[in-house]
Amino acid sequence: MKNIFSKTFWVYAGERAIKTVAQTALAILAVNQTTIISVDFTGLVASAVTAGIVSLLTSIVGQPK
């Protein structure tokens, strides 16, 4: 069982969140199939960061008690 107050927990949770952000951004780009110039970067970044935050919260909530 990992303790949410340990450095190891946050390293792994952060790594998962970063991967989630990158995957979300790539998925949005793939779905839109537009040129890089016409991408709505505000929406892309907002969606990707939100997915990263949800990933961190899922890591916290998913810890066994």
> Which two three-digit tokens encode residue 53?
């935050």
- Of 31, 65, 62, 64, the C-alpha closest to 16 is 62
| pLDDT at residue 33, rounded to an integer | 77
- Residue 65 — very low, low, confident or very high, per pLDDT cuts 50/70/90? low
d(CA 8, CA 43): 32
Phi, psi of 35 (to 5 degrees): -75, 155
Instruction: Give the pLDDT of residue 2.
Output: 64
- The structure tokens listed for 30 are 């793939």
Q: pLDDT tens-digit profile of 4-60? A: 889 999 999 999 999 999 999 999 888 877 777 788 889 999 999 999 999 999 999
Is residue 21 a contact partner of residue 44, using CB atoms and an 8 Å limit? no
pLDDT of residue 45: 95
| Per-residue model confidence (pLDDT) at position 62 | 87
Domains in the chain: boundaries: 7-61
Give counts: helices (H), strands (E), the chain: 2, 0
